[in-house]
Amino acid sequence: MEEKPAANTKSFRFRLGLYALFLLCGFLIFAVSSVSPDLSIGTVTVPLLFLLTTIVLHGNVRFKTYWEVFFAFFVFSLVWFTRHLILDSPSVHPFYATLSGNVVAQLVDTTVVIIPMLTIASRSKLSSIFLRKGNLKLGSVVGLTVLAIFYLLSAVVAISAAGMSPSRFLFLTPFLLVLALTNGFKEELWFRGLFLNKYESLLGVRLSNFLQAPIFTMSVVEAEFSSVLIGIVLVSFFLGLGLGYLMRRTGSIFGSSLCEAGSVIPIFLVAVSVLK
């Protein structure tokens, strides 16, 4: 009986070590992306490194339980670099000059992300990446409430503070909703749906949630946000924690996707408010 605390401590330390390793994997992707945004040795090496690790672990009985996490990082990194190559290409840039073009670019972005995710799910079950009904009532109530709050707040700020006419805001609404909803579904599937179940089998529920949140936060760190970087990091981190909790609580991607969609409405509004 006296050996149990020591065993539990060892187990917790081991999980913390895995946590640090997986966090480093996420950091590596974004670090390489910031240094080499275009196709380079780095952008090819990172996904290849995760793929080779997956193959080695899958073939080793002792470490076979870890291969799914590294395979998820392989897919995530491959999609991350491919997505940037496509969206940053000269052929796509003109789309951002118009409202309809932004919608097309967002749909392309979402498609580039979702297809590999669904390919992975086809190896097991859609429920493994939270593509299931789950607690639909709770997800709907929380998700639609958050979406409505952000939409109404955006309307109030845009009309009363920024001087946008009500008719202009209503005109932008369909574009905002398409952009926000597709982005919300894409990012929830990509940052949380792909990873949470895989993390949990190794780290447990709480540590898994505290892993996906900082990796999600790393993805929004951009040089142009340097003046408000601390605020963005804090908001993104706690948003990530909340979305991860909701996804696990409802057992579905539905509610958290609606919540994230709501949270990005103000961002998309700023981006498209001057477009026609």
Residues of 81-99 as b/e, b for ≥16 C-beta within 10 angstroms?
Answer: bbbbeebeeeebeebeeeb
Give pLDDT tens digits for 132-141.
999 999 999 9
Q: Which long-range contacts (CB under 8 A, 24 or more apart) does 50-57 make?
A: 50/25, 50/74, 50/77
* One-character DSSP codes across 144-158: HHHHHHHHHHHHHII
- Tell whether the model's pLDDT for residue 272 goes beyond 50: yes
226 pLDDT above the threshold of 60 = no
Please determine, for residue 25, whether its predicted confidence score (pLDDT) is greater than 60. Answer: yes
Domain interval for residue 253: 4-272
What letter represents residue 48's amino acid? L
Q: What percent of the chain has pLDDT over 70?
A: 92
pLDDT single digits (tens) 36-73: 767 778 789 999 999 999 999 988 878 878 999 999 99
**3-class SS shares of the chain: helix, strand, coil, % to 5:** 85, 0, 15
**Pick from 44, 100, 72: which is nearest to 200 by CA?**
72
Provide the domain count of the chain: 1
- The pTM score is 0.90
Do the beta carbons of residue 108 and residue 230 sit within 8 Å?
no
232-263 confidence digits (pLDDT tens): 889 999 999 999 999 999 999 999 999 999 99
